[in-house]
Amino acid sequence: MTQRLHLVFGGELVDPTKNVFKNVDDIDIVGIYPNYAAAFDAWKGAAQRTVDNAHMRYYIAHLHRLRDEETQASSTEELGH
């Protein structure tokens, strides 16, 4: 069975119309979740806690898409990293 891990993270943006964080050191890592439903619940909670700050944004990253298990090596492994 394939794991479909999801990362929930967010932080304050320089401009609410762009996806550029004001300070990368202050990014809030909410957590890693085993499925989209759990990640969505965590995302929703974090987003609701910061609703008064128009510059705060939270995202769900699909970690399982970073590495395709059908491929022998990821692009970073091919580069020797």
For 30-70, write each residue's pLDDT tens digit.
Answer: 999 999 999 999 999 999 999 999 999 999 999 988 766 66
- Annotated domain spans of the chain: 6-78
CA distance 74 to 81: 10
| Fold of the 6-78 domain | Alpha-Beta Plaits (3.30.70)
Q: Percentage helix, strand, coil, to 5, in the chain?
A: 30, 25, 45
| Confidence check: pLDDT of 71 > 60 | no
Q: Distance between CA 9 and CA 22 in Å, rounded? A: 14
